[in-house]
Protein backbone atom coordinates (compact mmCIF):
# COMPACT_ATOMS: atom_id res chain seq x y z
CA UNK A 1 0.00 0.00 0.00
CA UNK A 2 2.90 2.32 0.81
CA UNK A 3 0.61 4.71 2.66
CA UNK A 4 2.43 6.83 5.23
CA UNK A 5 1.17 7.77 8.69
CA UNK A 6 0.21 11.38 9.27
CA UNK A 7 2.70 11.55 12.16
CA UNK A 8 4.13 8.04 12.59
CA UNK A 9 2.81 7.67 16.13
CA UNK A 10 -0.02 5.66 17.64
CA UNK A 11 -2.50 8.54 17.30
CA UNK A 12 -1.64 8.99 13.64
CA UNK A 13 -2.16 5.33 12.82
CA UNK A 14 -5.33 5.21 14.91
CA UNK A 15 -6.70 8.15 12.93
CA UNK A 16 -6.30 6.00 9.80
CA UNK A 17 -8.21 3.19 11.54
CA UNK A 18 -10.92 5.73 12.41
CA UNK A 19 -11.22 6.62 8.72
CA UNK A 20 -11.98 2.97 8.09
CA UNK A 21 -14.50 2.89 10.95
CA UNK A 22 -16.28 5.87 9.40
CA UNK A 23 -16.53 3.95 6.11
CA UNK A 24 -18.17 1.09 8.01
CA UNK A 25 -20.60 3.54 9.61
CA UNK A 26 -21.52 4.93 6.18
CA UNK A 27 -22.10 1.36 4.94
CA UNK A 28 -24.39 0.55 7.91
CA UNK A 29 -21.80 -1.78 9.43
CA UNK A 30 -20.66 -1.70 13.05
CA UNK A 31 -18.07 1.10 12.82
CA UNK A 32 -14.79 -0.63 13.56
CA UNK A 33 -11.69 -0.03 11.51
CA UNK A 34 -8.25 -1.65 11.54
CA UNK A 35 -4.86 -0.87 10.08
CA UNK A 36 -1.77 -3.09 9.95
CA UNK A 37 1.55 -1.29 9.93
CA UNK A 38 4.77 -2.83 8.61
CA UNK A 39 7.65 -3.60 10.99
CA UNK A 40 9.37 -0.41 9.83
CA UNK A 41 6.52 1.52 11.46
CA UNK A 42 6.31 3.80 8.47
CA UNK A 43 3.86 2.19 6.06
CA UNK A 44 0.45 0.56 5.97
CA UNK A 45 0.30 -3.05 4.80
CA UNK A 46 -3.48 -3.26 5.05
CA UNK A 47 -6.53 -1.32 6.14
CA UNK A 48 -10.08 -2.58 6.50
CA UNK A 49 -13.40 -2.05 8.20
CA UNK A 50 -16.22 -4.33 9.29
CA UNK A 51 -18.10 -5.79 6.32
CA UNK A 52 -20.12 -8.52 8.06
CA UNK A 53 -23.50 -7.49 6.64
CA UNK A 54 -22.17 -6.51 3.24
CA UNK A 55 -20.41 -9.85 2.72
CA UNK A 56 -22.89 -11.97 4.68
CA UNK A 57 -19.90 -13.34 6.58
CA UNK A 58 -19.71 -13.35 10.39
CA UNK A 59 -15.90 -13.47 10.16
CA UNK A 60 -15.64 -10.28 8.09
CA UNK A 61 -14.41 -8.21 11.02
CA UNK A 62 -12.00 -5.35 10.34
CA UNK A 63 -9.02 -7.10 11.94
CA UNK A 64 -9.55 -10.39 10.09
CA UNK A 65 -9.99 -8.64 6.75
CA UNK A 66 -6.85 -6.60 7.41
CA UNK A 67 -4.87 -9.73 8.30
CA UNK A 68 -5.98 -11.35 5.04
CA UNK A 69 -4.84 -8.29 3.06
CA UNK A 70 -1.54 -7.99 4.92
CA UNK A 71 -0.50 -11.62 4.48
CA UNK A 72 -1.32 -11.32 0.77
CA UNK A 73 0.81 -8.17 0.63
CA UNK A 74 3.84 -9.74 2.34
CA UNK A 75 3.37 -13.16 0.74
CA UNK A 76 3.68 -15.04 4.02
CA UNK A 77 1.26 -16.12 6.73
CA UNK A 78 3.18 -14.44 9.56
CA UNK A 79 3.13 -10.73 10.29
CA UNK A 80 6.06 -10.68 12.68
CA UNK A 81 7.07 -7.21 13.78
CA UNK A 82 3.79 -5.68 12.58
CA UNK A 83 1.50 -3.49 14.62
CA UNK A 84 -2.28 -3.56 14.41
CA UNK A 85 -4.43 -0.54 15.16
CA UNK A 86 -8.10 -1.19 15.81
CA UNK A 87 -10.71 1.28 16.95
CA UNK A 88 -12.20 -1.35 19.27
CA UNK A 89 -10.80 -4.15 21.43
CA UNK A 90 -10.47 -7.28 19.26
CA UNK A 91 -13.02 -10.01 19.90
CA UNK A 92 -11.87 -13.56 20.68
CA UNK A 93 -11.88 -14.49 16.98
CA UNK A 94 -9.85 -11.47 15.93
CA UNK A 95 -7.47 -11.72 18.87
CA UNK A 96 -6.89 -15.37 17.99
CA UNK A 97 -6.20 -14.49 14.35
CA UNK A 98 -3.68 -11.86 15.46
CA UNK A 99 -1.92 -14.37 17.70
CA UNK A 100 -1.80 -16.92 14.86
CA UNK A 101 -0.40 -14.24 12.53
CA UNK A 102 2.28 -13.48 15.15
CA UNK A 103 1.83 -9.70 15.16
CA UNK A 104 4.06 -7.86 17.59
CA UNK A 105 1.68 -5.30 19.04
CA UNK A 106 -1.99 -4.32 19.06
CA UNK A 107 -3.25 -0.82 19.81
CA UNK A 108 -6.97 -0.33 20.30
CA UNK A 109 -9.31 2.51 21.11
CA UNK A 110 -12.14 1.29 23.34
CA UNK A 111 -12.86 -1.85 25.27
CA UNK A 112 -15.69 -4.11 24.15
CA UNK A 113 -17.43 -5.31 27.33
CA UNK A 114 -19.61 -7.81 25.44
CA UNK A 115 -17.08 -9.49 23.11
CA UNK A 116 -13.59 -8.19 23.95
CA UNK A 117 -10.92 -10.87 23.87
CA UNK A 118 -7.95 -8.80 25.03
CA UNK A 119 -9.05 -7.57 28.47
CA UNK A 120 -12.84 -7.38 28.81
CA UNK A 121 -13.80 -11.06 28.68
CA UNK A 122 -10.43 -12.74 28.35
CA UNK A 123 -6.78 -12.22 27.60
CA UNK A 124 -6.17 -13.97 24.30
CA UNK A 125 -3.46 -11.55 23.18
CA UNK A 126 -1.10 -12.25 26.04
CA UNK A 127 -2.35 -15.47 27.59
CA UNK A 128 0.53 -17.19 29.39
CA UNK A 129 -0.45 -20.57 27.91
CA UNK A 130 -0.31 -19.41 24.29
CA UNK A 131 2.69 -20.03 22.06
CA UNK A 132 2.86 -16.34 21.11
CA UNK A 133 2.08 -13.30 23.21
CA UNK A 134 1.22 -9.85 21.87
CA UNK A 135 1.89 -6.62 23.69
CA UNK A 136 -1.01 -4.20 23.58
CA UNK A 137 -1.94 -0.63 24.34
CA UNK A 138 -5.49 0.51 24.92
CA UNK A 139 -7.23 3.86 24.97
CA UNK A 140 -5.67 5.56 21.94
CA UNK A 141 -8.27 7.97 20.50
CA UNK A 142 -10.84 6.18 22.67
CA UNK A 143 -13.21 9.13 22.79
CA UNK A 144 -13.50 9.33 19.01
CA UNK A 145 -13.98 5.57 18.69
CA UNK A 146 -16.58 5.50 21.46
CA UNK A 147 -18.56 8.41 20.00
CA UNK A 148 -18.76 6.74 16.60
CA UNK A 149 -19.94 3.44 18.10
CA UNK A 150 -22.48 5.18 20.33
CA UNK A 151 -23.85 7.17 17.41
CA UNK A 152 -24.20 4.01 15.34
CA UNK A 153 -26.07 2.06 18.02
CA UNK A 154 -28.20 5.06 19.00
CA UNK A 155 -29.35 5.25 15.37
CA UNK A 156 -30.28 1.56 15.48
CA UNK A 157 -32.62 1.95 18.45
Catalytic position from the list 63, 80, 135, 138:
63
Question: Is residue 50 within 8 Å of residue 31, measured between CB atoms?
Answer: yes
Here the contacts of 147-150 (C-beta below 8 Å, separation 24 or greater) are: 148/18, 148/21, 148/22, 148/25, 148/31, 148/87, 149/30, 149/31, 149/32, 149/87, 149/88, 149/110
Name every residue whose Cβ is closer than 8 Å to that of residue 40 and which is 6 or more positions away in sequence: none
27 is catalytic: no
The strand pair at 33-37 and 83-88 is best described as antiparallel
Q: Which residues are the active-site residues?
A: 63
Amino acid sequence: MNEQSPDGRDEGWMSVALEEARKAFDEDEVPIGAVIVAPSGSEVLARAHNRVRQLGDPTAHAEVLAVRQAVAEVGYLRLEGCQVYSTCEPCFMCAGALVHARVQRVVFGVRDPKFGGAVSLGNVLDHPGANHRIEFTEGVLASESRQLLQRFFRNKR
